[in-house]
């Protein structure tokens, strides 16, 4: 059987280009990512590289335009320029803007650019990783994304201030935007500017946030509603909506069970043949017998302790040394479970994806997995993300810059102000001691109550211990949303993947199908007409 040469495969992976109409852009502006960095107002422009492509999805050829560049936002009070936002937009050519949805994507952190979701999820091109295994060094592969959402929606990938090439405009500084509320307010301004600059006010509008981006979405969706922009749908991927529950062992336990199932470390005979029914059973065990055992320790029921040991592959003696707290950590804050399950093999599990493993012996065992990209999951993919983003941006999107692209800004996280005033006027960001207690599920509930046509999808990975799927489910169940009809607008789904669900091929395909259903339901004519009427009524 004939096989393609590597050159042929690389050519097939490239997007179809119409270079005669391309408008490359070499950006001369230096965008700093420090807390006090800014660019002069005189040099902030709305320049972009414009390229033209085509993609075939399900046998249908879609010609599209890619724009990589900046939009300038203004302060809501003074109308003076306050930030320049780097973004990449993919829009289908010739589509009706009144019916064609537009979706705004962003990652979390806080302090993360949108490069992870752009190159991993539903853009026209995506990287090929070896996750959960380590992705070997270059040459890497970028390929046509057969799961791209471009057949359903135009796609805009946004980089918040201090990430990517986004920066404050003097006299504002980056740190002025580094907080729960100012961050969301600035994204309101960006979305409004994008809608105006591209004549998209009448388009169905969607948000897609990942990780801290889900907390951002909850706040942003309410602020957009207050600004007269009612959304059609939201996707919350790998959510953290209640920081008070972060590290709750009850919410975390089913994730550990999924990890143990994947690595064949369960003490159950026979082991469950498939994960979903086992995960569902573990959610019930966690909320019932396990939660009771935690409260009763050290007088916990011995049978429950033995069941716990079998369910997560950790021996009874070790569990007792942890006081049955499966969320227990070492002195560096790393979950002991991640370091213990495969210790006999000298391996640690990834927090972002428990299927991924890393060497945990020798000097590797003394490197802090929380520093940089040393978590086994991030180690497995960071190299390909860095290389292929620079290659794709420069060679295919034709945008070059004198600045370093900031994919993950640790300074933003370090300076982030989690203070948050929720829709009732309550402080839901920090407590009296200044500790983070950020709670945004109430903002989501408020938005859904006011915009009763809003459709919401919560997508969660079974192997994600950073934002555990069971804890997300608990947070959504507990949010103050009592209306049963509105509750039916919320769908919660689980996928056999990690924090970045889309890096698992079958999970990405399944999530794409769920998104198509979400968009169809959210764009139903009667609901869309009601949203448009409310939006136009407030803007008169």
Q: What's the pLDDT score for residue 124? A: 98
Gap between the Cα atoms of 513 and 278, Å rounded: 24
Residue among 242, 189, 188, 191 at smallest CA distance from 212: 242
pLDDT digits (tens, 9 = 90+) for 295-335: 999 999 999 999 999 999 999 999 999 999 999 999 888 99
Q: What's the pLDDT score for residue 2? A: 39
Q: Where are the alpha helices (DSSP H) in 328-429?
A: 336-340, 376-391, 410-415
Give burial (CB, 10 Å; 0-12/13-18/19+) of 370: exposed
Q: Which residue has the higher pLDDT, 538 or 6?
A: 538
Residue among 73, 78, 51, 71 at smallest CA distance from 63: 51
Q: What's the pLDDT score for residue 28? A: 96
341: which DSSP letter?
T
pLDDT digits (tens, 9 = 90+) for 256-278: 999 999 999 999 999 999 999 99
Mean of pLDDT values over 517-538: 74
Q: What's the pLDDT score for residue 5? A: 44
110: which DSSP letter?
T
pLDDT digits (tens, 9 = 90+) for 62-71: 999 999 999 9
- Of the pLDDT bands very low, low, confident and very high (cuts 50, 70, 90), residue 219 is very high
513: which DSSP letter?
H
Using omega within 30 degrees of 0 as the cis cutoff, is the peptide bond preceding 324 cis? no
Mean of pLDDT values over 283-298: 97
Residue among 190, 236, 194 at smallest CA distance from 83: 190
Cα dihedral angle (317, 320, 326, 332), rounded to 10 degrees?
-90
pLDDT for residue 535 is more than 90: no
Gap between the Cα atoms of 313 and 308, Å rounded: 8
Distances from the Cα of 432 to the Cα of 311, 419, 441, angstroms: 39, 11, 21
Tokens representing 244 are 């008070």
Mode of pairing for the β-strands spanning 167-168 and 48-57: unpaired
Extended strands (E) in 341-445: 347-349, 357-359, 399-401
Do 214 and 109 form a contact (C-beta atoms < 8 A)? no
What count of residues does the chain have? 540
Average pLDDT, the chain: 92
Q: What's the pLDDT score for residue 8? A: 39
The residue extents of the domains of the chain are 6-244+385-539
- Of the pLDDT bands very low, low, confident and very high (cuts 50, 70, 90), residue 532 is low
Do 447 and 454 form a contact (C-beta atoms < 8 A)? yes
Do 278 and 257 form a contact (C-beta atoms < 8 A)? yes
pLDDT digits (tens, 9 = 90+) for 2-25: 344 444 344 444 556 666 689 999
Give burial (CB, 10 Å; 0-12/13-18/19+) of 371: exposed
Do 218 and 241 form a contact (C-beta atoms < 8 A)? yes
- Of the pLDDT bands very low, low, confident and very high (cuts 50, 70, 90), residue 431 is confident
Residue 385, C-beta contacts closer than 8 angstroms, at least 6 positions apart: 115, 116, 119, 120, 127, 407
Angle at alpha carbon of residue 457, lines to 454 and 462, rounded to 5°: 165
Q: Is 438 helix (H, G, I), strand (E, B) or coil?
A: coil
Distances from the Cα of 517 to the Cα of 67, 148, 221, 424, 523, angstroms: 27, 14, 21, 33, 10
Gap between the Cα atoms of 209 and 260, Å rounded: 28
Which fold would CATH assign to domain 6-244+385-539?
Rossmann fold (3.40.50)
Mean of pLDDT values over 93-109: 96
What is the percent of the chain where pLDDT is above 70?
A: 91
Do 20 and 50 form a contact (C-beta atoms < 8 A)? no
Gap between the Cα atoms of 515 and 510, Å rounded: 9
pLDDT digits (tens, 9 = 90+) for 362-415: 666 666 655 455 788 888 898 899 999 999 999 999 999 999 998 999 999 999
Gap between the Cα atoms of 192 and 439, Å rounded: 25
Q: What's the pLDDT score for residue 373? A: 59
What predicted TM-score, i.e. pTM, was given to this entire model? 0.93
Mean of pLDDT values over 171-177: 98
pLDDT for residue 539 is more than 70: no
């Amino acid at each position: 059987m004939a096989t393609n040469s590597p050159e042929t495969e690389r050519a097939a992976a490239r997007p179809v280009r119409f270079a005669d109409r391309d408008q490359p852009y070499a950006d001369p502006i230096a965008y700093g990512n420090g807390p006090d960095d800014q660019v002069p107002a005189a040099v902030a422009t709305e320049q972009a590289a414009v390229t033209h492509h085509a993609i075939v999805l399900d046998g249908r050829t879609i010609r599209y335009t890619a724009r990589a560049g900046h939009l300038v936002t203004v302060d809501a009070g003074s109308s003076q320029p306050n930030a320049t936002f780097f973004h990449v937009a993919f829009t289908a050519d010739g589509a009706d803007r009144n019916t064609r949805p537009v979706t705004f994507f962003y990652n979390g952190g806080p302090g993360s650019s949108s490069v992870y979701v752009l190159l991993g999820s539903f853009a026209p091109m995506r990287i090929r990783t070896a996750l959960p295994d380590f992705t070997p060094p270059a040459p890497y592969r970028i390929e046509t994304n057969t799961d791209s959402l471009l057949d359903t929606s135009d796609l805009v990938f946004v980089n918040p201030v201090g990430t990517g090439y986004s920066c404050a405009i003097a006299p504002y500084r980056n740190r002025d935007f580094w907080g729960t509320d100012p961050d969301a307010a600035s994204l309101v301004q960006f979305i409004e500017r994008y809608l105006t600059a591209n004549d998209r006010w009448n388009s169905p509008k969607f948000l897609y946030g990942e990780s801290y981006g889900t907390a951002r979405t909850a706040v942003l969706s309410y602020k957009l509603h207050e600004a007269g922009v009612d959304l059609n749908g939201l996707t919350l991927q790998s959510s953290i909506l209640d920081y008070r529950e972060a590290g709750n062992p009850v919410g975390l336990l089913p994730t550990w069970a999924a990890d143990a199932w994947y690595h064949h470390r369960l003490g159950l005979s026979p082991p469950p043949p498939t994960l979903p029914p086992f995960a569902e059973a573990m959610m019930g065990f966690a909320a019932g017998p396990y939660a009771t055992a935690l409260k009763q320790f050290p007088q916990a029921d011995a049978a429950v302790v033995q069941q716990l040991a079998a369910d997560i592959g950790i021996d009874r003696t070790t569990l007792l040394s942890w006081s049955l707290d499966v969320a227990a950590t070492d002195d560096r804050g790393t979950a002991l479970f991640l370091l213990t399950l495969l210790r006999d093999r000298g391996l640690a599990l990834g927090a972002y994806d428990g299927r991924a493993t890393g060497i945990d012996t020798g000097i590797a065992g003394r490197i802090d997995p929380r520093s940089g990209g040393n978590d086994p999951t991030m180690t497995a993919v960071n190299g390909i993300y860095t290389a292929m983003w620079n290659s794709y941006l420069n060679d295919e999107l034709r945008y070059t810059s004198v600045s370093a692209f900031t994919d993950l800004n640790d300074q933003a996280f370090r300076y982030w102000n989690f203070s948050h005033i929720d829709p009732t006027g309550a402080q839901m960001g920090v407590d009296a001691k200044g500790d983070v207690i950020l709670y945004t599920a109430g903002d989501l509930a408020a938005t859904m109550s006011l915009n009763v046509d809003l459709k919401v999808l919560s997508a969660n990975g079974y192997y994600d211990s950073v934002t555990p799927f069971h804890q997300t489910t608990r947070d959504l169940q507990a949010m103050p949303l009592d209306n049963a009809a509105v509750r039916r607008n919320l769908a919660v789904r689980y996928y056999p993947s990690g924090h970045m669900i889309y890096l698992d091929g079958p999970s990405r395909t399944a999530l794409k199908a769920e998104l198509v259903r979400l968009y169809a339901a959210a764009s139903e004519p009667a609901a869309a007409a009601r949203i448009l009427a409310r939006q136009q009524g407030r803007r008169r």
